[in-house]
Amino acid sequence: MSRHEGVSCDSCLKSNFRGKRYKCLICYDYDLCATCYEAGATTTRHTTDHAVQCIITRSDFDIFYGGEAISAEQPQSVSCPYCSKMGFTEAVLQEHVAAEHADISVEVVCPICASLPGGDPNHVTDDFAAHLTLEHRTPREFISFVIIIVSSWPDHAIF
């Protein structure tokens, strides 16, 4: 079944709970069950100001959507770890972080790695914008990234 194996709620300490899991993107390895998240549970580490990523397992997708034709490739909505806004796709989050949070260097957990099946659930980075570019870039953005480097080349090629 689709329990979150090995994951327990850091507030009520229930383990292997079903359904949605809310992972804090500020506290390392901190998860809440839906009940505690919705109740606004806090601890000495965690406050409701922290950004969280909602994670639904593949098999829970099947339960929630009755096994209908929703593909596992359907992008999960991603939260911004800096401002707690939810509902980004990976590509939109990259643009958002580059535009809004380019100067921040606070350690955060990558919400995309955390919600990827088989991804590292606790990938901490202090340069999230660079991590997004390196690890989660899409082909279209990769191409424009190369064009920017190539077109700015002469300015930097001072020998």
Site residues (vs Zn ion, CB under 5 A): 9, 11-12, 24, 26-27, 33, 36, 46, 50, 80, 82-83, 110, 112-113, 135
Rounded least distance, CB 146 to Zn ion, Å: 21
Smallest gap from residue 33 Cβ to Zn ion (A)? 4
Of 46 and 137, nearer to Zn ion (C-beta) is 46
Choose between 27 and 62: whose C-beta lies nearer to Zn ion: 27
CA dist 122 and 109 (Å) reads: 6
Hey, is 16 helix, strand or coil?
coil
Q: How far is the CB of 117 from Zn ion (least distance, A)?
A: 13
Q: Which is nearer to Zn ion, 9 or 54 (CB)?
A: 9
Amino acid present at 106: V
Cα torsion for 107, 109, 111, 116, to the nearest 10°? 140
Residue 61, CB-side half-sphere exposure with 13 Å CA sphere:
16
Residue 47 vs 152, nearer CB to Zn ion: 47
How far apart, in whole angstroms, are the C-alpha atoms of residue 7 and residue 14?
A: 9
